[in-house]
């Protein structure tokens, strides 16, 4: 129905919060209380795997760190200044953090299984766990600090190594969690008010949609693999132009709407 998206905006915020709280509780219990360090690695692996099929929707809905940001740190964010994007020009910061995470994990394996001579299959909190736990704690603290000083999701957009893995997986499989129906887009840009990176994600789609409408064309445009699928734009779109539709970007981009459906 025109005027309504696939997601009811009146209930979506609550549904999303419930999903985030569930993973946050699981994280606190498993990692911080029971010290089950493998939970950190599992979260990164699941996020990357899901991204290969549905885009970075994990980051926006289920990531525990993202939940802490949305439900806690965003409430006290000072938003003192915008994050200096030149620091991440060419995705240098994202690449550095991803390489740093891989290097750190490799160092843990070397330290325990090679330097200490323990079997590769051997793993325990005393040997591996506290090092993995330190990594989780540093990521949580860094995300909180950036969220309070800059925009809430600054860590997710510019630094998170798990999110970078998700972006790479989504780009390689050419998957996107959201598509735009250019026939319905009114160019109102209401969606940009709830997006953490509108200039990179939504504005290009809107501008291309308006250009296509001028040419009398109708297409289905997938959003960038960098989108972490919070789906807030889908919920708020007054025309239902944005919708959840996980399609292969190579099969939909530039294809007339009636043929792609």
Per-residue pLDDT of 137-174, as tens digits, reads: 899 999 999 999 999 999 998 899 999 999 999 999 88
Interatomic CA distance for residues 171 and 175, integer angstroms: 7
Contact between 142 and 24 under an 8 Å Cβ cutoff? The reply is no
The average confidence (pLDDT) of the chain is 84
Looking at residue 117, what is its pLDDT? 74
Give 192-214 pLDDT, tens digit per residue. Answer: 999 988 988 999 999 999 999 99
Instruction: Choose among 188, 156, 181: nearest CA to 244.
Output: 181
- Start-to-end CA span in the chain (Å): 17
Interatomic CA distance for residues 166 and 30, integer angstroms: 23
Global pTM value? 0.83
The Cβ of residue 43 has, within 10 Å, a number of other Cβ atoms equal to 22
Give 35-90 pLDDT, tens digit per residue. Answer: 887 888 888 899 999 999 888 989 998 999 999 999 999 999 999 988 888 888 88
H/E run at residue 60: helix 57-61
Q: Is the pLDDT of residue 5 over 70?
A: no
The separation between CA 144 and the C-alpha centre of its own chain, rounded to angstroms, equals 16
Q: Given pLDDT bands bounded at 50, 70 and 90, which one contains residue 251?
A: very low
């Amino acid at each position: 129905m025109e005027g309504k998206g696939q997601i009811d905006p009146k209930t979506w915020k609550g549904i999303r919060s419930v999903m985030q709280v569930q993973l946050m509780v699981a994280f606190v219990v498993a990692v911080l209380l029971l010290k089950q360090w493998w939970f950190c690695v599992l979260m990164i692996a699941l996020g990357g795997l899901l991204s290969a099929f549905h885009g970075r929707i994990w980051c926006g809905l289920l990531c525990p760190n993202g939940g802490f940001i949305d439900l806690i740190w965003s409430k006290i964010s000072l938003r003192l200044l915008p994050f200096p994007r030149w620091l991440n020009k060419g995705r240098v910061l994202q690449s550095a953090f991803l390489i740093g995470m891989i290097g750190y994990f490799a160092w843990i394996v070397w330290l325990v299984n090679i330097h200490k001579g323990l079997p590769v299959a051997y793993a325990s909190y005393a040997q591996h766990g506290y090092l993995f736990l330190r990594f989780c704690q540093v990521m949580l603290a860094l995300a909180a600090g950036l969220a309070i000083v800059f925009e809430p999701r600054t860590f997710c957009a510019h630094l998170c190594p798990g999110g970078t893995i998700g972006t790479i997986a989504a780009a390689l499989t050419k998957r996107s969690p959201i598509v735009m129906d250019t026939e319905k887009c009114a160019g109102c840009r209401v969606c940009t008010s709830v997006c953490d990176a509108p200039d990179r994600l939504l504005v290009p789609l809107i501008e291309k949609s308006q250009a296509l409408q001028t040419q009398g064309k109708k297409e289905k445009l997938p959003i960038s693999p960098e989108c972490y699928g919070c789906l807030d734009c889908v919920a708020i779109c007054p025309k239902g132009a944005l919708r959840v539709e996980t399609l292969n970007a190579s099969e939909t981009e530039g294809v007339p709407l009636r043929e792609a459906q």
